[in-house]
Amino acid sequence: MNENTLESVQQCLNQFDVTEEQLQQIQAGILGDMERALGRQAGSSPSVQMLPTYVRSTPRGTEQGDFLVLELGASGATLRVLWVTLTGISGPRKEPVSQEFTIPTEITLGTGQQLFDFAAGCLVQFLDQLQVGSQPIQLGFNFSFPCHQTGLNQSTLISWTKGFRCSGVEGQDVVQLLREAIQRQGAYNIEVVAVVNDTVGAMMSCDPSPQACEVGLVVDTGTNACYMEEVRHVAELKEDRGRICVNVQWGSFGDGGALEPVQTPFDLQLDQESLHPGTQRFEKMVGGLYLGELVRLVLIHLAGQGALFGGVTSPALLTHGSVHVQHVMEIEDPSHGRARAQAMLQELGLTPSAQDCAQVQRVCGAVSSRAARLCAAALTAVLARVRSNPERSPLGVSVATGGRLYKQHPRFSALLQQTVRLLAPDADVTFVPSEDGGGRGVAVVTAVASRLALQRRQLEETLAPFRLHSQQLKAVQAQMRESMVRGLRGESSSIRMLPTYVCAMPDGTERGDFLALDLGGTNFRVLWVKVGSRSEEGIKIINRVFSLPESVTQGTGQQLFDHIVDCIVDFQKENNLSGQTLPLSFTFSFPCKQLGLDQGILLNWTKGFKASDCEGQDVVSLLRAAIRRRQGVELNVVAIVNDTVGTMMSCGYEDPHCEVGLIVGTGTNACYMEELGNVCAVPGDRGRMCINMEWGAFGDDGLALQEFYTPFDLSVDQASINPGKQRCRAREGGARRAGREDSDRRGWARGTSGCGWVGRGADGEGRAEAVANLGCPSYSLSARARYEKLISGMYLGEIVRQVLLHLTHLRVLFGGQEFPSLQTKDIIKTKFLSEIESDLERWQVRAILEKLDLQADCEDALLVREVCQAVSRRAAQLCGAGVAAVVEKIRENRGLDRLSVTVGVDGTLYKLHPHFSEQVKDAVRELAPQCCVRFLLSEDGSGKGAALVSAVACRLAGAAGP
Ligand code: BG6
Ligand code: GLC
Ligand code: GLC
């Protein structure tokens, strides 16, 4: 061989030299692309993909169990199946059983179905030999292509790389495709639990001691790396704490042109002739699939120049793919390389001289050295990111390495490591070979995924009773309807259907100044309501919220009413109203048996109230007695009004179709305009009267809702201040059954002449008798189904807390850690549900939990949100079933095919929860299709409506004359 020849070869190979400066530029280029891809910066188009893998921690070493692993795509057209047994920390290590299958080219280039059927067939063949029987098998799928993962077992193929191009797979979930193929085989009970990239398999297969590997590097037919990134840097995930493994997909680096300075004409030609031209430019300079081809193109070029083989080529040398990476690795073998070169060239139909063989060795060396050095540059970019992580191990960084080129090439790993030291001299890097070709790591991820899947099943089982279907809701609606009718007839019913003596809606001509009290919701308020002409002044309200300490709501009745009068006096002073005796309306949001507009006997406390000596008493009398005790104060109590009624009246002022009042706040209840003829408790059959349903007690008779009660609801009930209720509590010695109730009803209703106006009420005699006979059905003590406790804000937080305790106990939540704050009753308020269910990022949800001293990770945060959603959705649906029963009753009362009606609504849960109101509406639409229901929010609270009740009474009294 002459000097010229050597010179030509050298000149050609010089093109494969990459200077240190160029390597540094590539390192910086990859790092910049990685950071841009992580940050999803607008307008930038990084060429690496940075795909989150949903692997959130490196192995703990505790994982156990038998797993089936399927590897597809890592080693060219070879598919591998493994049976991996993980034995935990103390168990003896077990070698995996594995088998390789060659995938025919017509399959790698065929249809997706062919490919997945082939894979499933290999699984069956493997398992048949293993004789695993019919046990359920958990499979981890090592799929080495760029995928967009949305979970550990959901992964959409972005694009094929390397030697694969099966139709109908890009854009599809490969886990699903594999599942379907396994089902088509129908032979084994295999569940595909996790899908991972080969780099992740490599990273996860390393022993966690002395330090966990935080980087996975693969150089096989393709090349790529993954590493543990701080999740707050992964913009796509919108999380703030913890780490996640990111698949860099560095094979595509340079697709935007960044590699042009180091590309040779051979690289360009190789790309043009490849299966996926224009893509994976970096991989095409490094991956084993391409090194043989680059060597082949160089040999053809040198032969063409007369520098090799005496200027002769052969058909085989001219054939695409005839030189493999295996050849390159063998030719570079220090002891037998020369002989291997000769053998390969002869196999290609050439007659090489000894010098030819030596030159071919140089060519292989140049191509593979460049590959190792480029790969090192990319790795130092990844190391730079890992080292910027403040939580990284103080021992330096361990890199798990895998892939045949890395492992089997005689110089590749040494050269790569040497170049890493050159480019990152102060990085303390340890290279750790991955075990079982990454199969073990796939099994580890599968173990984690299967634990998570078990937790998901436990969550689903826990929440299943909260998920109601249409038939169940229809049954609730029907039962509600039945209870309404029985209540109206005075028969035994858990819904009391209390007459309110409100029979007319405001017509806009009402005028005057009124005082109002609003007691029983979240706030206790005193109001001054000025009712002017609707078209001009409208209604003006001045109000003040007063605190009601628990010592008052749960002390003696006298303390409660004295406190109320004190607040009124303060309010009067503040507003220069002292000395004026304005008509006073009292919104009192508890079940009262009304005997007229200004007399209401408290049947029983509900929600958070428990003041003594009030049940069975006329609330207006208690208030008047407190006024007398205060001396020097004159107040004229005109009306006592339930909050539902106040809400209906208040909304009725805006919308004359408003004939239903609904509260979903601390408690829940509804009222509506019923035909007087249907109200047995009040004589007369002309006109309508508003009925306070007191639906919170629905189901207390044990005839409805029983099936919906979960153990969590029972616990909440047991821990409430009125366990076994919302239900009608029998007065001592006065409990009576429905049949006897009739006489009471007639008693107090006697003297009431129909309902032509707002609440003239019963005469004195009737009232006295009624107060004495507060009988109502007594239900069996086992009755535990209370509608209000399933729906209203006072209880939902507690239900959620009970579910969270259970899930913690199952170790589904908080890693099983039992936080003391979760043991605290009422720690979860309705506001919490509203916040957590609004459109927040995971970290924001976590921050809310942290305010309650619950240390949650992002997964916990999502689970807590799911629990809240299930509990509040059930509440909304049950409430919707109630509203549907009410509007359907109104429609049928009036014999209409279609009813248009407005529901006035108030209550913090309904108003503040992000989805509750829509879910109520959805349920009503479905359950009452013949009703067109408008929901109108009450803006000023029910005090305004209560004042309007008085105003209408005054108007009608005025019209009736003195
Ligand atoms: C208020 C009304 O707006 O809502 C009260 O003025 C009513 O009368 C209350 O009781 C119900 O909601 P919450 O959430 O305060 O119980
Ligand atoms: C290709 C694939 C990538 C894989 C790598 C190594 O680059 O796109 O997902 O990790 O090859 O097999
Ligand atoms: C409770 C009360 C009821 C009230 C409702 C809403 O259910 O018993 O009277 O309307 O809460 O506040």
CA 666 to ligand 3 centroid distance, Å: 8
Is any ligand 3 atom within 6 A of the Cβ of residue 604? no
pLDDT for 131: 87
475-727+757-766+775-792+874-960 folds as: Nucleotidyltransferase; domain 5 (3.30.420)
Is any ligand 1 atom within 6 A of the Cβ of residue 63? no
Q: What distances in angstroms separate CA 951 from CA 516, 530, 655, 900, 924, one per listed residue?
A: 11, 10, 17, 27, 32
Indicate the SS3 state at residue 52.
Answer: strand
- In this structure, the residue with its CA closest to atom 1 of ligand 1 is 941
CB burial readout 740-753, b (16+ within 10 A) else e? ebeebbebbbebbe
> Domain 3-46+256-387+404-423's class?
alpha beta
CA 646 to ligand 1 centroid distance, Å: 10
Q: Write out the catalytic residue numbers.
A: 525, 589, 643
pTM of the predicted structure, to 2 decimals: 0.75
Rounded to the nearest 10 degrees, the angle between the axes of helix 858-893 and helix 842-851 is: 90
CA 697 to ligand 3 centroid distance, Å: 10
CA distance 74 to 141: 12
Sites in the chain below the pLDDT cut of 70: 1-2, 390-395, 724-785, 958-962
CA distance 312 to 347: 15
pLDDT for 20: 97
Q: Where are the alpha helices (DSSP H) in 671-811?
A: 711-719, 738-749, 764-772, 787-791, 793-809
CA distance 241 to 193: 25
pLDDT for 744: 32
CB atoms within 10 A of CB 170: 15
Is any ligand 1 atom within 6 A of the Cβ of residue 797? no
Each residue of 612-623: pLDDT tens digit? 999 999 999 999
Q: Ligand 1, residue 525: give the atom nearest the CA.
A: 6
Indicate the SS3 state at residue 315.
Answer: coil
- In this structure, the residue with its CA closest to atom 9 of ligand 1 is 521
Query: What tokens does 340 get?
Result: 């291997």
**Where do we find the tokens 């993962």?**
149
CA distance 200 to 228: 10
Q: Which of 864, 872, 935, 878 is nearest to 904 (CA)?
A: 935
Where in the chain are all domains bearing CATH 3.30.420.40?
51-206+434-448, 475-727+757-766+775-792+874-960
Please give the sequence-ordered ranges of beta strands (E in DSSP) within 58-189, or none if there are none. Answer: 64-72, 78-87, 97-102, 137-143, 147-151, 154-157
CATH architecture of the domain covering 51-206+434-448:
2-Layer Sandwich (3.30)
CA 184 to ligand 1 centroid distance, Å: 59
Is any ligand 3 atom within 6 A of the Cβ of residue 337? no
Residue of 666, 694, 905 to mutate, ligand 3, most atoms within 8 A of C-beta: 694
Q: Which of 775, 779, 730, 728 is nearest to 748 (CA)?
A: 775
Task: Give the pairing type, strands 97-102 and 78-87.
Answer: antiparallel
Is any ligand 1 atom within 6 A of the Cβ of residue 668? no
Ligand number nearest to the C-alpha of 909 = 1
CA distance 746 to 82: 83
Q: Cβ distance 334 to 411 under 8 Å? A: no
Q: Ligand 2, residue 147: give the atom nearest the CA.
A: 9
Where in the chain are all domains bearing CATH 3.40.367.20?
3-46+256-387+404-423
Say how many Å lie between the first and final Cα of the chain, rounded.
133
Each residue of 125-150: pLDDT tens digit? 999 999 888 899 999 999 999 999 99
Each residue of 555-566: pLDDT tens digit? 999 999 999 999
Q: HEC states along 629-688?
A: HHCCCCCEEEEEECHHHHHHHHHHHHCCCEEEEEEECCCEEEEEEEEHHHCCCCCCCCCE
CB burial readout 582-604, b (16+ within 10 A) else e? bbbbbbbbbbbbbbbbbbbbbbb
